[in-house]
Amino acid sequence: MATHRSSRSGIGVSFRLLGSAVSLAVFLCLAVSILFTSHSHSTTDSHGISNVGSGRRSVLAMKSDPLKSRLDQIRKQADDHRSLAHAYASYARKLKLENSKLVRIFADLSRNYTDLINKPSYRALSESDSLSIDEATLRLFEKEVKERIKVTRQVIAEAKESFDNQLKIQKLKDTIFAVNEQLTKAKKQGAFSSLIAAKSIPKSLHCLAMRLMEERIAHPEKYNDEGKPPLPELEDPKLYHYAIFSDNVVAASVVVNSAVKNAKEPWKHVFHVVTDKMNLGAMQVMFKLKDYNGAHIEVKAVEDYKFLNSSYVPVLKQLESANLQKFYFENKLENATKDTTNMKFRNPKYLSILNHLRFYLPEMYPKLHRILFLDDDIVVQKDLTGLWKIDMDGKVNGAVETCFGSFHRYAQYMNFSHPLIKEKFNPKACAWAYGMNFFDLDAWRREKCTEEYHYWQNLNENRTLWKLGTLPPGLITFYSTTKPLDKSWHVLGLGYNPSISMDEIQSAAVVHFNGNMKPWLDIAMTQFKPLWTKHVDYELEFVQACNFGL
């Protein structure tokens, strides 16, 4: 027990001795440090006391001297107004004021600020310390900066109204441009929609064709003329012959109805109606359902004329071309609306053989001497036998001319940049209209007009001479063989021109609904539509069943 106490007391003594030694070491270190610091200060005082004192005062001066602050403030104002002048110059260029004095003035102001700040005497102010700043130079610098600031603010104040006006003008121009873009797009879409509306088959018309075809299938013995000898009147050159090529049952019937109604001797009139194979049955039934006051009606299909094949007819041969098929049948909406002027020519009907039959009349009717060609969108209002009394003067085609002023000249229908067209035709030659054309078939054969048509149609396979359609090749084929008729024979435009006077219409022998607003469509012009509808056979049960015209 006593031994244990003696060992604990020995350990305590040892810790006390160690603590005393550590305290002594710390004290010695502090003493040495104080001595070293005192020596260092005394050395510095003896060798560089003036420099240290000067450095301390310089630092204090930089913090308290107003000259340096004034210099910084002046430089900042100069920089700010230089940037402002530069910004106005850039804005003036953006507003398309490159030719304006304002652009040059603001550019000069911005440059003057830069030149002023970079003057050697003023640059030295920034590079020197506070004690060496020359107050006189500083005042001069401040004066020049303030003068430039004053000028800058005056110019800005004067230019503000001009900038505001220019901004309004620019915004107005941007708005007009955007509206024009929308208008152009709307016009293209409208033209395309109008084309769809014009070329689509109305439901009632489709219904009528189907019901007539159903009747043809149900009672073939009533409507089939196969095996029967042709009527002699169909080839009698002493009678008045008409050619109507159509796939529209109602339209073809209106042409015949109106012509027969106004004929003084209807039994002397012969109507040659040609359609396609699909509509042949419906046409046969339609023209068998009623008596036409003794008028003679022949209904045939294109396919009945065996000479019309691709080895003879250029149009049929061209339809076999892959490029032409792609042009028509692989066309998309965005491509169709690119060119609203020629959009309508992408309609495949313009290369339809039914549309080009008019160039083969002498071969289709070899025993006839004269024939009157009628489109299916016309209405006859007077007896037309007077046309057969006209002296054709050896010409082939009797037609009403459509030119007035610079409109409807050859230049509008053909590509006169092509050397062949330029060499052969006069761009100012007056165009005429298809729709009602009186043809001297003997003169046609003598002038070899079909061969002429073939020559030019073959050359135009790539559509370089004219766009599609039958009028341009007609103008070419009958260039020097057309006799102008009095305008009262044929009044055009009822499908697009609402300003035609009723006096002109009433005095016309034939009115023509050429244009998109056909009389059998909902988009027809209401003031002209009754001229056509009064010749529709509404009493027929098939027409009534299809709600036609409602």
User: When comparing pLDDT for 423 and 336, which is higher?
Assistant: 423
For the chain, what is the mean pLDDT?
A: 81
**pLDDT reading at 178 higher than 80:** yes
Q: Is 293 left (phi over 0), alpha (psi -120 to 50) or beta?
A: left
Res. 368 pLDDT band, cuts 50 70 90: very high
**pLDDT reading at 52 higher than 80:** no
Res 137: pLDDT? 80
142-174 pLDDT, tens digit each: 888 888 888 878 777 777 766 677 667 778 888
CB atoms within 10 A of CB 295: 23
Res 136: pLDDT? 81
- Tally DSSP H helices, then E strands, for the chain: 21, 10
* Span 457-465, average pLDDT: 91
Domains of the chain, residue spans: 202-546
pTM of the predicted model over 0.85: no
Residues 6+ apart with CB under 8 A from 404: none
Res 88: pLDDT? 74
Res 96: pLDDT? 58
Res 102: pLDDT? 66
Percent of the chain whose predicted confidence (pLDDT) is above 70: 78
Residue 421, SS3 per DSSP: helix
Specify which of 325-329, 351-355, 441-445 reaches the highest per-range mean pLDDT. Answer: 441-445
**pLDDT reading at 122 higher than 90:** no
Res 243: pLDDT? 98
DSSP state of 431: P
* Fold adopted by 202-546: Spore Coat Polysaccharide Biosynthesis Protein SpsA; Chain A (3.90.550)
Res 491: pLDDT? 97
**pLDDT reading at 50 higher than 60:** no
Kindly state the tokens that stand for 503.
């006096």
Q: From 30, 48, 163, 61, select the one nearest 103 (Cα to Cα).
A: 163
User: When comparing pLDDT for 85 and 20, which is higher?
Assistant: 85
**pLDDT reading at 487 higher than 90:** yes
